[in-house]
Amino acid sequence: MPLQITCACGKTLTVPDSAAGKKGKCPGCGEVIAIPAATPVAPVVKPVSPARRAAGGAKRPTGAARPATARTGAARSGSTAGFRRTVTAQRMAAEKPSPTLWIVGGVLGVLVALFLIWGAFFRDKGQQDTPRPPADQDPVEQPEPAPEPVPEPEPEPEPEPEPEPEPEPEPEPEPEPEPPEEAVTDEERLAAGQSFFERFVELHRTCDAALAELYENDAMLRHRVVEEGAFPEESMRTGSEWKGELPGILERWKGLGKHDSYAAPEYEVRPTDEVEIRCTRTSADDGASNPHIIVIRQATPGVWVISMEETETSR
């Protein structure tokens, strides 16, 4: 039967029983291992039960009759010997290994032997291929590896100079406060109203385009037509619209040789510091005279403009 041995390296090997008492190399570490001799297996003796031993060894009583003759004793002895032979044959048949087990063990043994031979061959070949210095020659000393150069520390970057703070801009000088406007009295407003009306009339008489400068753009101009027995009709235009129409009206007046005229002015200062001028307007188209109202205000010191104008026409 195959033998199992354990190497000092801890590897368990299975070898055929034919290698008992021989030596071989361990395929794991290459150490030579002595294979112990096979230990003979003691035959297994089936114990005899006490009852059977008592039955076989018991003696019959002396006075008892022996029903059997000497032949009967011989027959008993032959029967016992045959029983023992049968038991021994059965025991040997049970202990005899089967042929299959022998075949498997033989194959495994062959494989293990081939493996051991293959390992030993290549191990010896590797040792032979390794060049060894002669015995009388000193081994060549391997030069020690040169130490790796230690990298020099990088110089620390110089700190950038802090930017100089920009000088704060000098504060701009505060504008000098405008002198307070001088308070205008009502007498001065009335005098300004008279001077404005005189210029207003003169520009109408000469049909001068400078008449448009007397109107502010936001001025409200209202024309009211009164007809007996009917509700009054009103039309509105702004100073800008009137300035657009005025050049054509002045050209028409120049062609007719006549113009609107204003007379009998009356002046009054309103609570809003505006000056109201009431007068009579005579139309250049039909010659009718109707009440007319002009309201002026001071836009800038010494400059007065028309903020509202109302005209009424009767039919």
2 contacts 105 by C-beta, under 8 angstroms = yes
Over residues 65-119, the pLDDT tens digits come to 454 444 444 444 444 455 455 545 556 555 555 678 778 888 888 888 888 888 7
Residue 64: what pLDDT? 44
Region for residue 229 given its phi and psi (left: phi exceeds 0; alpha: psi -120 to 50; beta: otherwise): left
The DSSP annotation for 194-254 comes to HHHHHHHHHHHHHT-GGGGGGEEEEEEEEEEEE-TTS--EEEEEEHHHHHHHHHHHHHHHH
Residue 92: what pLDDT? 59
Residue 72: what pLDDT? 44
Residue 305: what pLDDT? 92
Q: HEC string of 145-160?
A: CCCCCCCCCCCCCCCC
Q: 126: which residues sit within 8 A by CB, 6+ positions away? A: none
Burial of 215 (0-12, 13-18, 19+ CB in 10 A): buried
Query: Can you give the pTM of this predicted structure?
Result: 0.42
Region for residue 153 given its phi and psi (left: phi exceeds 0; alpha: psi -120 to 50; beta: otherwise): beta
The amino acid that residue 196 corresponds to is: F
Q: What's the rounded Cα separation, in Å, for the pair 264 and 277?
A: 10
The pLDDT tens digits along the chain (315 residues) read 677 778 888 778 787 777 777 888 788 787 887 877 766 555 555 555 665 655 554 445 444 445 444 444 444 444 445 545 554 555 655 555 567 877 888 888 888 888 888 877 777 666 665 655 555 555 566 677 777 777 777 888 888 888 888 888 888 888 877 666 667 898 999 999 999 999 999 998 999 999 899 999 999 998 888 877 778 788 888 999 989 998 998 999 888 888 889 998 999 999 888 999 999 999 888 888 889 999 999 988 889 999 999 888 876
Burial annotation 9-41 (CB, 10 A radius, 16+ → b, else e): eeeebebbeebeeeebbbbeeeeebebeeeeee
194 contacts 182 by C-beta, under 8 angstroms = no
236 contacts 220 by C-beta, under 8 angstroms = yes
Residue 67 in tokens: 């029903």
